[in-house]
Amino acid sequence: MSLVTPGIAQEHETITFWEYLFNKRYFVGEAWFVASQKPPSSATEDRRRRIDLNINYYDGAIDEVKIIAIVEGKKTSTQPAVVENVEAQAYEACAARCKSGGSVWAITVIGTAARVWKFTTLPVPSWECVTGGDEPEFRWYIDADSAAAAVIDRQIRAIPIRPPQSSFIVPSQAQSTTF
């Protein structure tokens, strides 16, 4: 059984595929959970907004749930408007999450391909793709079943318990691996 129809994944298949990977491979353990269709923050103006997936960490020491990463996804498409839309949604969700300061990871996914981003408000708002490329173009997305998948694998594994600080891996340091 496949979670995604190769080459033509619909949005729900895209989200199911990545949610499965996040739950089973990357964010395993009692403190980690992936929530779907949640707002980016508890602010009144954000209550109607929904994010495809939030990757959360429960910090038992202070009895607090932290949103570590925001995931926005779309069905398989190489259309520029789709790429721009998913990246804009992720940026807006990160900005809403960090209104009062701080930082958060973002993962944008289109079918089985992904990019990893860091968003921070210090010293000024910053949005940086840590898996390569600055332009909103599909060619910068890395498929989970490709030789370059090690770049995505390493970046997702590098997501710390605390949102982005300094532990980023340069794409050229990646080895050839598939999921």
Residues 49 and 76: beta-carbon distance below 8 Å: no
CA distance 32 to 130: 23
Q: Quick: pLDDT tens for 59-112.
A: 888 898 888 999 999 988 888 999 999 999 999 999 988 888 889 999 999 999
Tell me: the pLDDT tens digits for 136-154?
Answer: 899 999 999 999 999 999 9
Query: Which class would CATH give 11-173?
Result: alpha beta
Report whether pLDDT(176) > 60. no
The pLDDT tens digits for 17-27 are 999 999 999 99
Rounded to 5°, the CA angle 93-85-47 comes to 30
DSSP 59-118: ETTTTEEEEEEEEEEE-S---HHHHHHHHHHHHHHHHHHTTTS-EEEEEEEETTEEEEEE
CA distances from 172 to 64, 70, 93, 155 (A): 36, 24, 29, 12
Buried b (16+ CB within 10 A) or exposed e, 65-75: ebbbbbbbbbb
The ranges assigned to domains in the chain are 11-173
Instruction: Please report the pLDDT score of residue 45 as a whole number.
Output: 78
> pLDDT at position 135, please?
86
Look at phi and psi of residue 29 and say left if phi exceeds 0, alpha if psi is from -120 to 50, else beta: left
Report pTM. 0.84
Instruction: Quote the pLDDT of residue 160.
Output: 67
**pLDDT at res. 74:** 93
pLDDT above 90 (res 170): no
pLDDT at 167 exceeding the cut of 70: no
pLDDT of residue 107: 97
Predicted confidence band at 165 (pLDDT cuts at 50, 70, 90)?
very low
Could you read off the pLDDT of 110-127 as tens digits, one per residue? 999 999 999 998 788 899
Residues 131, 146 contacting (CB under 8 angstroms)? no
